[in-house]
Amino acid sequence: MAEDGLNIPEWLNVQFITNVLSNHQKNPELQVTNLDLSAGSSVGDSYASVMFRAKVEYRTQKGTFSKSLIIKTATDMFATSSLFKTEIGMYKKVLPEFGKILRESKETSKLYAECLYSSLEPLQIVIFEDLVELGYAMVRNRQLSHEEICSAYSKLAKMHALSMKFINEQPEFLKEFKEGICLVDIPYMSFGIGPFTEFLGRIPELKQYQPYFEKIGLSFIERLREVMKEYQTNPQPGYYVLCHGDFHSRNVMFKHNKETGCLEDSILVDYQGCYVAPMAVDLMYSIYMLMDRDQRTGKFETLLNYYFSVLLETLRKIGYQGTMPTPLAFWAELKRLKEYEFLFLSTYLPMTTGLSLDNASNEGSDTKLEEFIEECKIMLARFKRSGYFEDL
């Protein structure tokens, strides 16, 4: 059975699920006795894939069982992209190796959902265990708490640390992961710098920053494209990791105690955009995609320092033999990737708050505009203190 109105592909049927489970469990006698299909995600959760949830009842020689699966398929728009190839490589090759190293170091963190099946031909399909059935859920209709962000950063830091070990000891292991998501190739993300620069000139408290952005606008788009290929074409002193590539709040699921509401765990999902790049790529992204306004303007250093502490702890635990990162070098690496913050502040942030900077007035009567101006004051002052405007 399926939900009314749900567009179920013909191949997604009892026989297909029977084959998946029998092969996964290495049990040719397994029989699916009931299959209920429903939507596996909410609108807006994923732009590159369609997901279904399959509630399966099946029988083996040992008895009757039930299992919930998430079935992920490519949308027509992304059918020719490398996203599914990347995700399958992560779940079938990289993440199991990461998990093995963690277990060997007596670390019990769960980094990923179990993958039961994957294919690229003739169809792009990945099937996972259903994390909802294990007590995990996305946070919806509210911002993440400080504790939730720390938990998400902890998992990211462990993934980064494990990738640093491979990059140092077996760089060829991650060689295939070089096709990340280039934000400036998304049309609306490449045209915001001009309106933002003009906007700065209309706001007296922000006008001092306009000359900097007039210079930034000449080159920063190309610089962001260069960062995407930097590890492969022109490695720089710094810290390269296997980036998640799309580290935002909808790609983290959290497990809270049902009785107390206390946070117990988090887990990253959607590894389609992974690629080797400077660690600051994920971190700059997260400042605007995980944090709310108050966290960005008042607590981001505390949160990023927490990430860094888990990174160091994990590197020591897993026997990393390379040069250990230092706090000074860590913050210098963030400064080196300052173009990401220029992009998010100038383009992403006004877009998500519903502002059209082309039409913004100086009067500040609109609440959203007032809040954006106040945030710009704080963020741009930090940029200047941090040396972001030096040597433009």
The tokens describing 163, both together, are 């990738």
Topology of 137-385 in CATH? Answer: Aminoglycoside 3'-phosphotransferase; Chain: A, domain 2 (3.90.1200)
Distances (CA, A) of 352 to 170, 189, 221: 40, 12, 20
CA quadruple 121, 124, 128, 133: dihedral sign: negative
Q: Is 245 left (phi over 0), alpha (psi -120 to 50) or beta?
A: left
Domain ranges in the chain?
14-125, 137-385
The tokens describing 364, both together, are 């500040």
In this structure, which amino acid lies at residue 361?
S
State the Cα–Cα distance between residues 9 and 15, nearest whole angstrom.
13
Q: What is the pTM of this model?
A: 0.92
Question: According to the model, what pLDDT value does residue 315 have?
Answer: 98
The tokens describing 97, both together, are 């190796």
CA torsion angle 303 181 244 89 (round to 10): 180
Q: Terminal CA-to-CA distance of the chain, rounded, Å?
A: 60
SS3 of 167-229: HHHCHHHHCCCCCCCCHHHCHHHCCCHHHHHHHHHHCCCCHHHHHHHHHHCCCHHHHHHHHHH
Task: Give me the tens of pLDDT residue by residue for the chain, a chain 392 residues long.
Answer: 555 446 888 899 999 999 999 999 999 999 999 999 998 666 555 566 789 999 999 999 999 999 999 999 987 666 667 888 999 999 999 999 999 999 999 988 899 999 999 999 888 999 999 999 999 999 998 999 999 999 999 999 999 999 999 999 999 999 999 887 777 777 777 788 999 999 999 999 999 999 999 999 878 888 888 888 899 998 988 899 999 999 999 999 999 999 999 999 999 999 999 999 999 999 999 999 999 999 999 999 999 999 999 999 999 999 999 999 999 999 999 999 999 999 999 999 998 888 888 765 544 457 888 899 999 999 999 999 999 999 88
Pairing of strands 115-119, 49-60: unpaired
Cβ atoms of residues 242 and 159 within 8 Å = yes
The residues, any chain, with a CB within 8 Å of residue 290's CB and separated by 6 or more, are 144, 149, 152, 247, 248, 249, 252
